[in-house]
Copies of this chain bind each other. A is one copy, B any other.
Amino acid sequence: MKITSQHIADLNKIQDTTYKAELNLLESKLSKRGISLENVINKVADFQVAIPSWALGAGGTRFGRFSYGGEPATLEQKLDDIGLIHALTKSAGAVSLHIPWDIPQDYKAIKELAQSHDIIFDAVNSNTFQDQAGAKHSYKHGSLSSTIEASRAYAVEHNLEVIKIGEQLGSKSLTVWLADGSSFPGQRNFQAVLQQTENSLKQIYAGMPDDWKLFIEYKPYEPNFYSTVIQDWGTSFMLANACGDRAYTLVDLGHHLPNSNIEQIVATLMYKGKLGGFHFNDSKYGDDDLTVGSIKPYALFLIFNELVYGMENNPQNPYPAWMIDASHNVKDPLEDLIQSLEAIRIAYAQALLVDQAALKAAQFDNDVVLAQELLQDAYRTDVRAILKAARVQSGAVADPIAAYRSLAVRNGLINERGTGSKATGL
């Protein structure tokens, strides 16, 4: 199943074009404020988000998994799936591999396949939260944070191998999500495990090529239910500083305690030049891994408002690595990812519409009402026409979900792969 440029052209012929009238109206409004609509469209078109290799099949909970047919069973098929999404949206031009689930057999072939889909290899991800068959040491009681030297060394070694795999594919960064922690008070010594984690991360950092970046993810709980070693941005930031200049914090939207102000964390990290990576999803209760923008789209916009501000005002902060990190328990994974990509670009486009000069003035005047009006004016604007224009000018379709359905992509995949294939190592 592959989507060709002919498919795209045919689809765009029949899809609704009323968005063009909306664009005109929008242009006249924006030009009054000195904003170039063309410029916004171009920025939106350039915004690419990596798809993780583990997110192309059915997700699940500890109570089970309801499978979806046509899941990709090999790395090649996973790349093909991302290729389908990218062809329809031109917004998913990268893949983020999970090792050991996705170790390539033939690097050259894999790279060519990715290239054929216009996909690059973004950050690689290590896994020390699971024991693989035949593992010499167990991670049941900790990996990088273990107080037992052999276990720790084993986990460090794994990360170094992941870097080597990434190097061969053109990746330039390693993401470490450390699930280590404890489920009961007293189980582990907080100071000792923090110290060991710092040591381990420094070893991994030392083993990275000079042009690589290390992303340190944080999360308050799950799979451990009392404590997690890297529980919050403060811990990640402290560890990143201990490692060195090319170590950064990675923010995952679902990895926060209830009521957290994530946009403030983003602003703080960018102010300090330490926001390295960003994982998109949405949630109502915990790390629910729902479709981006499905629960709290305004919070997403406020976060993007800080991201846009930081990208424009914090040259010391690297361009962040964007990735969707969601789970697909009740939706077709490809449709789910398309919805996430749409929500991300909507929030980004809205943030680009914020009148930053007027906002700064209102803030300086402590005109709280006006500051809110300015933000909400951008947020309340219907920017979907901008996304459609960006997609069409990039060679994708105006309406990807409709296109996906009219091409009957899922049926095609089931025909090719059957209903029993499984995408995940979980």
Binding site for B on A (CB under 8 A): 18, 21-22, 25, 28-29, 59-64, 66, 129-131, 138, 140-141, 147-148, 179, 182-192, 194-195, 220-223, 225-227, 231-235, 237-238, 257-261, 263-264, 267-268, 270-272, 283-286, 288, 290-291, 293-299, 302, 305-306, 309-310, 313-314, 327, 329-332, 335-336, 339, 346, 359-360, 362-364, 366, 368-369, 371-376, 379-382, 384, 401, 426
Interface residue from B288, B293, B362 paired with A225 (Cβ < 8 Å) = B288
Q: Which residues from B are CB-within-8-Å of A233?
A: 234
Could you tell me the distance between the alpha carbons of A231 and B64 in the complex, rounded to whole angstroms? 20
Given the complex of chains A and B, what is the CA–CA distance between A225 and B294 in angstroms?
11
Alpha-carbon distance between A225 and B381 when the two chains are bound, in angstroms: 26
Q: How far is the CB of A345 from chain B (nearest CB, A)?
A: 12
Residues of B within 8 A of A374 (CB): 186
Residues on the B chain within 8 Å of A288, using CB: 183, 221, 225
In angstroms, Cα B155 to Cα A225, docked, is 32
What are 7 A-B interface contacts by the 8 Å CB criterion? A63-B223, A187-B372, A191-B271, A194-B271, A225-B288, A369-B401, A380-B384
Contact between A264 and B302, CB atoms less than 8 A apart: no
Given the known A-B contacts A284-B225, A286-B286, are A188 and B363 also in contact in the complex, defined by CB atoms under 8 Å? yes
Contacts of A129 in B (CB 8 A): 63-64
Q: From B221, B268, B294, give the contact of A284 (CB < 8 A).
A: B221
- Oligomeric state, in number of copies? 4
Interface contacts beyond A147-B364, A185-B302, A191-B310: sample of 20 additional A-B pairs, CB < 8 Å, sorted by A:
A63-B130, A141-B366, A183-B329, A183-B330, A184-B291, A184-B331, A186-B371, A189-B363, A190-B306, A191-B267, A191-B314, A194-B271, A221-B285, A225-B288, A226-B290, A227-B264, A258-B259, A330-B368, A336-B369, A339-B369
Identify the closest chain B residue to A59 (Cβ): B62
Shortest Cβ gap from A193 to chain B (Å): 9
Whole-angstrom distance between the Cβ of A202 and the nearest chain B Cβ: 16
* Pairwise interchain contact A66-B368, C-beta atoms closer than 8 A: no
B28/A25 in contact, CB under 8 A: no
Partner of A368, one of B187, B189, B195: B187
Given A129-B63, A190-B263, A264-B190, CB of A184 within 8 Å of CB of B290: yes
Determine the chain B residues whose CB is within 8 A of the CB of A401 once the complex forms. Answer: 369, 373
For the complex, give the distance between the alpha carbons of A29 and B382 in Å.
14
| Contact in complex: B330, A147 (CB < 8 Å) | no
How many angstroms between the C-alpha atoms of A220 and B288 in the bound complex?
Answer: 13
Q: How many Å from the CB of A252 to the closest CB on chain B?
A: 14
Residues in B with CB closer than 8 Å to A271 are: 190-191, 194-195
Residue among A129, A187, A374, A426 with max Cβ neighbours from chain B (10 Å): A187
Residue of B nearest to A382 (CB): B382
Q: Which residues of B contact A329 (CB under 8 A)?
A: 183, 223, 225
CB within 8 A of A270: which of B131, B191, B291, B384?
Answer: B191
A372-B66 CB under 8 A given contacts A191-B270, A285-B220, A297-B298: no
Measured between alpha carbons, how far is A122 from B381 in the docked complex, in Å?
Answer: 34
Q: Whole-angstrom distance between the alpha carbons of A261 and B230 in the complex?
A: 12
Asked whether A261 lies within 8 Å of B380 as measured between CB atoms, the reply is no
A184 and B138: CB pair below 8 A?
A: no
Chain B residues with CB under 8 A of A221: 259, 284-285, 288
Closest to A270 in B: B191
When A131-B66, A271-B191 are in contact, do A147 and B363 touch as well, CB less than 8 Å?
yes
A364 to B152, CA, bound (A): 13
- A366 to B151, alpha carbons, bound, how many Å? 12
> A147-B363, A286-B286, A382-B382 known; A185 and B306 CB under 8 Å?
no
Q: Which of B237, B258, B294, B426 contacts A258 (CB 8 A)?
A: B258
Q: Are B223 and A335 in contact (CB under 8 A)?
A: no
Q: Are A294 and B264 in contact (CB under 8 A)?
A: no
Determine the distance from Cα of A411 to Cα of B401 in the docked complex, in whole angstroms: 53
